Amino acid sequence: MEHADARIFLVRHALVEPSARLVLYGAMDVALCEAALRQDALLYRWLAARLPQPARWVATPLSRTKATAAAIFAAGYPAQDLVIEEDLMEQHLGEWQGLTHEAFSERLRHPPHPFWPHAAEERPPGGESMEDLRARVGTVVDRLGERDGDTVVIAHGGSIRAAIAHALDLTPRQALHFSIKNLSLTRLERRGRDWRVASVNEEPFTPAA
């Protein structure tokens, strides 16, 4: 098989702190869970060994992506300068951000997705729909792929789903059928003008059920 022209290695940020998980945090800037940072040492070491060298490193303006990159560097990957890409941020949920899951569910205008708290077409007041997210992330994916070589992106569950949807030309609803795990690796490869998804949710092991 021919070598890909460009590869993007997408890592979802680490688990956020417990109080943030009680609300719909979306594009809010919330901290990582300190206990999980210690417990996930194996995952950081695996990522440090698994991610390509050399590579361009990209993160979003939110501190949880930059802190995840710093933890990977501390685990053995040579420290890199981070390019900050605002358009790879998590879906902005507008007036819903900060609401508890019970409170926001009362404001839905569409039946929720079977595997997500709200429908793909739902656009919160002052926020974005999944289609909006797919459009802005897809533009960045294509731009990153214009340069040959490898790029590591520390991003968010929503933006990684959007990148998969862009690569496979999926609908926003189909994109929400992907579950993206914290600290998992998703790989996109470009050949010519076409993208393929080489893997989703790579991990060093699969825990027993």
> pLDDT (tens digit, 9 = 90+) per residue, 113-125?
788 777 889 899 9
The pLDDT of residue 114:
83
CA atoms of 113 and 94, how far apart (whole Å): 19
Could you identify the residue written with the tokens 């909006």? 132
Confidence of residue 30 (pLDDT cuts 50, 70, 90): very high
Average pLDDT of the chain, as a whole number: 93
Cis before 54? omega within 30: yes
Q: Which of 45, 80, 87 is nearest to 66 (CA)?
A: 80
Q: Looking at the predicted structure, is the pLDDT value of residue 209 above 60?
A: no
User: Does residue 11 lie within any of the structural domains?
Assistant: yes
CATH of the domain at 23: 3.40.50.1240
Angle formed at CA 178 by CA 39 and CA 163, multiple of 5 degrees: 95
Q: Which of 31-40, 114-123, 132-141, 183-192 has the lowest mean pLDDT?
A: 114-123
User: Does residue 207 lie within any of the structural domains?
Assistant: no
Paired with 190 in beta bridges are: 6, 195
Q: Looking at the predicted structure, is the pLDDT value of residue 208 above 50?
A: no
Confidence of residue 21 (pLDDT cuts 50, 70, 90): very high
User: Does residue 193 lie within any of the structural domains?
Assistant: yes
The pLDDT of residue 2:
57
User: Does residue 67 lie within any of the structural domains?
Assistant: yes
Could you identify the residue written with the tokens 């010519």? 192
User: Does residue 186 lie within any of the structural domains?
Assistant: yes
Number of structural domains (the chain) is: 1
Q: What percentage of the chain has pLDDT greater than the value 90?
A: 82
User: Does residue 209 lie within any of the structural domains?
Assistant: no
| Mean of pLDDT values over 124-150 | 96
| Mean of pLDDT values over 43-71 | 98
| Mean of pLDDT values over 126-150 | 96
User: Does residue 208 lie within any of the structural domains?
Assistant: no
User: Does residue 188 lie within any of the structural domains?
Assistant: yes
Confidence of residue 107 (pLDDT cuts 50, 70, 90): confident
Q: What percentage of the chain has pLDDT greater than the value 70?
A: 97
For residues 30 and 36, is the Cβ–Cβ distance under 8 A? no
The pLDDT of residue 101:
78
In terms of pTM, does the model score above 0.75? Answer: yes
Range of the domain at 23: 6-202
Joined together, the tokens standing for residue 8 give 């993007």
